[in-house]
Amino acid sequence: AQKVTQAQTEISVVEKEDVTLDCVYETRDTTYYLFWYKQPPSGELVFLIRRNSFDEQNEISGRYSWNFQKSTSSFNFTITASQVVDSAVYFCALSTLSSGGSYIPTFGRGTSLIVHP
Amino acid sequence: SAVISQKPSRDICQRGTSLTIQCQVDSQVTMMFWYRQQPGQSLTLIATANQGSEATYESGFVIDKFPISRPNLTFSTLTVSNMSPEDSSIYLCSVGGGKYEQYFGPGTRLTVT
């Protein structure tokens, strides 16, 4: 069975601090896809990044960076110099091939990030 | 990407009644997904809706409780039937998914009293 663990339920930081959100996944599949989504207080989920299991390159996008390590089954997300607008719930998701032949995502429980001014 | 709208955005319903949630996409898509997000919780996939075929339900969800329609490639409905307070949740539709990122609607916030 597939599983995504986001052990940090809530993180509270002060603006300009760096913060890392952890994501650990479990799957026996060799082909899978990992995602991060942001859910701000408004409620609408926003896609941030996608990674496939064969691409371990880390990625940086502005203040956001992602570290994918297959050896530890982790796909961590770092926000550099956090801002109040980063306050949101962040979800990590894992998509694997189901018995029905389609890729089905499993979401972690989410990490609530609160950035104080 | 896709732009997705949902109606209603929120509703308060009486126990035992049913509510139909509509999801409209601005482009034609093969698969649409329905999720439930209970307060402070993660997203749980209810079912996958393909146009022209029966929806595929995940474990713990049944068609009698959550009937889904998918009449064309841009529209779907989810009905929450015979509601109880435990059905109070945010219901989200999405497109994309599978190997690719998903785009979500704004959600329908349902409160059952």
* Among candidates A35, A105, A109 on the partner chain, residue whose Cβ is nearest the Cβ of B41: A109
Interface-testing mutation among A47, A98, A112, A114, with chain B (most B C-beta atoms within 10 A): A47
Q: Taking residues B79-93, report their average pLDDT.
A: 96
Which three-class secondary structure state does DSSP give residue B81? coil
Q: What is the mean pLDDT of chain A?
A: 94
Give the residue from B1, B7, B12 showing the smallest Cα distance to B110.
B12
Q: How do residues B5-22 score in pLDDT, each as one tens digit?
A: 999 999 999 999 999 999
pLDDT, position A104: 84
Point out which residues pair with B72 in neighbouring strands.
B75
B107–A107 CB contact, under 8 Å: no
* Whole-number Å distance between alpha carbons of A48 and A32: 17
| Close Cβ partners of A80 (under 8 Å, ≥ 6 residues apart) | A18, A63, A64, A65
pLDDT in tens, A25-77: 999 999 999 999 999 988 889 999 999 999 888 888 999 999 999 999 999 99
CA dist., res. B14 & res. A81, Å (int): 46
Query: Is residue B37 helix, strand or coil?
Result: strand
How far is the first Cα of chain B from the last one, in angstroms, to the nearest whole number?
A: 36
Q: B88 — contact with chain A (CB < 8 Å)?
A: no
- The reply to whether residue B42 touches residue A103, judged by beta carbons under 8 angstroms, is no
